[in-house]
Chain A
């Protein structure tokens, strides 16, 4: 970023805000898209891989705009390693701890997803 910082601290701060805002824009739009996508996956079986390598398979009950995920009837991929998960039947996963979500290919309309990204990109440009 080649912005000349002026003597007034105020203008500097403004620039900073502007930049972060822009980054937010993109990510926010992206999240809305992904949120929209996950909504269509409700009541389907998905596998959520967490950042701590725990993989949970279950029926997606709900997802919110922070991409928090609620799973029902869960099972853990590697029960020996995570015995404490044996008793857990449903869970709520904070969106920020999710690494991957695996889902059946047939439940995804790739063309539509492409279109959706195009729309988002256009929105972001506005």
Chain B
């Protein structure tokens, strides 16, 4: 192989001798040629023989046809000079293996099939097909020996003639470069195969043809990459080669290169690869030279292709100068631009912005951009409520479709971004419409990862940039696992069960809220109906998951109460109520009131404050803090909802609820807690407002009729019972009393004394205020004699409070609060704290 590649080195000497080549030299060269073939052919004796005979045959044939031989001699003698000249081109295989490679590569590119079997196009193919190549050679060989030995048949003669010529043709290259015949044969591509069969004239014609295009055919090889450096190199070489062109073979192809760029070059790598591949097939092909037709056909085409171009390849000095000038200019430009290599122009930024934005395009902005979308929507509605107009910050493209960019500031991309956004919004609109239509065609990887964005989905199925959900899977989940359990009584839900149930509820609520947001336009009646039905179905699911309809005593706490116990569930409460129809919310409230005692915030109400927190263990402190937090959260989230439902109730319902509470729980216990106080206050004040002003509330048609006397009767009965149960414990409702009671030891002195910090004291007063408000409502609702009882029960408390408010150590703020608290109650009875001495 190295010998093959190395024939460059032997080139000059050979060339000289070849130029003056005589017959002996021919034979001599044939011999060397044979050696060469031995080396190249690598192994096959048969093959060696064949080649040898081929060379010999050529010589022998020449010798045998005496007259013809002379003629040949003449012709060749005369031609010799020309031939040698021609060979400067035709023998170019020697200088540049690349040349051959290129041809082969183009061959492989354009004519893969016909030649493919005997002549491999890839290295692998070559090695695998070499045997076949050998076979073909051997197949040929036998015929040649016959020719040389027998030499009788006309066919043999026919073979021989070219054999004579072919050595001559073949020797020239060998004499110059001592390559094996194959490369030269393959290089000139057409000659060997047809050559042997065709007449001398034909061969000559071909050679003549070859002489011209050789440069151009050679040229394509070099075109590979043509990086700037390469061009430069080539240009440098160009300056010299033309002079050396005649003596030196390598020059011409090089020369041709720069101008011959187009088409053929393809990718640099591909051509190089093809080059590598092609060098070997040629080896196999050369001697064999079998399928004449396709091979020559192609070079002819190539020649034409090349012939059009040969003129430019030989650049005139001016042209060279021009090109150099051009090259200089390009280099200078590149260098000058290189200064800004790391900087972005505004167009670059714009481009990036566009990529960023387009990657943010989603069918459902609420999916990937939920927070910003809803946040800005809320903020907007708040702003509008406050009277500040603000345009939509979400780029809305269609119903429920848009860009996933939002936030309070629309122009997060600056002025440029504004333009881009407006442009883009129309683009995305089209995009979305298109995609919706051709959901199946998933060719969205264009910008995927353009900025290094990590994509969802796996390598096999990358996440489309713009994914539009087509179908919503129906929920196949059993409505409620817990519902399906039977049995009158069972264990309460575990914490884990509660949490899971809550998460499911949240999911359902989120979906429902999303559904509500996507309300169809009010004009589309059918859509609205479908939408309503969907929402209703969702509400039903939520209702089932709430487990309100479970039997009241199924567990302690009731499953629904279990759901409301954690803060998470409490937060869900108002959102649930928004979606529940009136009847269901009433049911829910009844259940809540009936099982009020099971609530954590009632059962485990935060204990009265202790005077000295240092007496508590850490766990104790944490537990207290947690209970306080739960109570606060209950008052913040649940009670407003309860108030809301109560406000929608008629007197009968309110009475009924109070009755339920009074029946099912120890009222004073419940009332001793803040949630209890809040609930009762809400119930009583609602009842009072219904009784006092039966004037219809325009908001609620249920209350339009006058208070039903029966309901009134029922209410007063219930309330009286309630009050009487409560009266003995009235004092215990006040947190200060409870605290005093609970305190013992040194703390007893401190409670209610001055030691308590003012801030804590005020907090205490605030809590007291809740209770005072409750007793005030009690007083308002109570009948005359009950009012007296009430005052009697609270006398001490009232006196103590009023007195302590006048105590000098009590801060004015706290004193004022105390007075206000007492007055809240007293004013309801038509009294005032100032009347107390």
Contacts and interface: CB of A to CB of B under 8 A. Distances in A.
Contacts of B369: 32, 35-36, 39
B407 A39 contact: yes
Interface string A22-41: 00110111001101110111
A45 interface: no
A116 B378 CA distance: 14
A95 B360 CA distance: 18
Contacts of B412: 39, 42, 62
B378 A109 contact: yes
Contacts of A25: 456
Given A32-B369, A33-B371, A36-B368, A17 B409 contact: no
Nearest to A25: B456
A10 interface: no
Given A17-B459, A65-B359, A116 B571 contact: no
B408 A116 contact: no
A65 B405 CA distance: 11
A71 to B, nearest CB: 14
Contacts of B372: 36-37, 39-40
Contacts of B531: none
A18 B459 CA distance: 8
Interface residues of B, number: 36
B510 interface: yes
A112 B510 contact: no
Contacts of A51: none
Interface in B340-383: 356, 359-360, 366-376, 378-379
Interface residues of A, number: 32
A78 interface: no
Given A29-B456, A39-B405, A118-B510, A112 B359 contact: no
A41 B360 CA distance: 18
B406 interface: yes
A113 interface: yes
A116 B409 contact: no
- A33, A35, A36, A62 — which one has the most chain B CB atoms within 10 A of its CB? A36
Contacts of A2: none
Contact of B458 (A18, A32, A109): A18
A6 interface: no
Nearest to A63: B412
B371 A113 contact: yes
A107 B373 CA distance: 15
A59 B412 CA distance: 13
Interface in B379-398: 379
A119 interface: yes
A120 B571 CA distance: 20
A43 interface: yes
Given A33-B371, A42-B412, A111 B378 contact: no
Contacts, number: 87
Contacts of A21: 457-459
B453 A40 contact: no
Contacts of A118: 503, 506-507, 510
A24 B503 CA distance: 24
A40 B506 contact: no
Contacts of A109: 371, 375, 378
Question: Looking at chain A's contact residues, is the secondary structure mostly helix, strand, loop, or mixed?
Answer: helix
A123 to B, nearest CB: 6
Contacts of A123: 367-368
Contact of B371 (A28, A36, A42, A64): A36
B236 to A, nearest CB: 45
Nearest to A44: B408
A53 interface: no
A42 B404 CA distance: 15
A78 to B, nearest CB: 30
A41 B408 CA distance: 8
Contacts of A28: 454-456
B413 interface: yes
Contacts of A32: 368-369
A111 B404 CA distance: 20
Given A37-B372, A65-B359, A116-B371, A43 B408 contact: yes
A122 B368 contact: no
A17 B379 CA distance: 42
A119 B372 CA distance: 13
B507 A112 contact: no
Contacts of B510: 115, 118-119, 122
A64 B452 CA distance: 13
Contacts of B359: 65
Interface string A94-126: 000000000000000101110110111011000
B375 A42 contact: no
B376 A40 contact: yes
Contacts of B370: 33, 36, 115-116, 119-120
A124 to B, nearest CB: 9
A109 to B, nearest CB: 6
A111 B372 CA distance: 13
Interface string A51-77: 000000000001011000000000000
A115 B359 CA distance: 24
Given A36-B369, A39-B405, A17 B458 contact: yes
B56 to A, nearest CB: 54
A24 B453 CA distance: 11
Contacts of A29: 456
Contacts of A42: 407-409, 412
A89 to B, nearest CB: 17
A91 to B, nearest CB: 17
Nearest to A43: B409
B243 to A, nearest CB: 57
A76 B364 CA distance: 39
Given A39-B405, A39-B407, A118-B506, 7 more contacts: A28-B455, A29-B456, A39-B406, A40-B407, A42-B412, A112-B375, A119-B367
Interface of B: 356, 359-360, 366-376, 378-379, 404-409, 412-413, 453-459, 503, 506-507, 510, 571
25 contacts: A25-B456, A28-B454, A28-B456, A29-B456, A32-B369, A33-B370, A36-B368, A39-B407, A39-B412, A40-B371, A40-B375, A40-B406, A40-B408, A42-B407, A42-B409, A42-B412, A43-B408, A65-B356, A109-B375, A112-B371, A112-B378, A115-B510, A118-B510, A119-B366, A122-B507
Closest 4 pairs (CB-CB, A-B): A39-B407, A116-B371, A36-B372, A36-B371
Interface of A: 17-18, 21, 24-25, 27-29, 32-33, 35-37, 39-43, 62, 64-65, 109, 111-113, 115-116, 118-120, 122-123
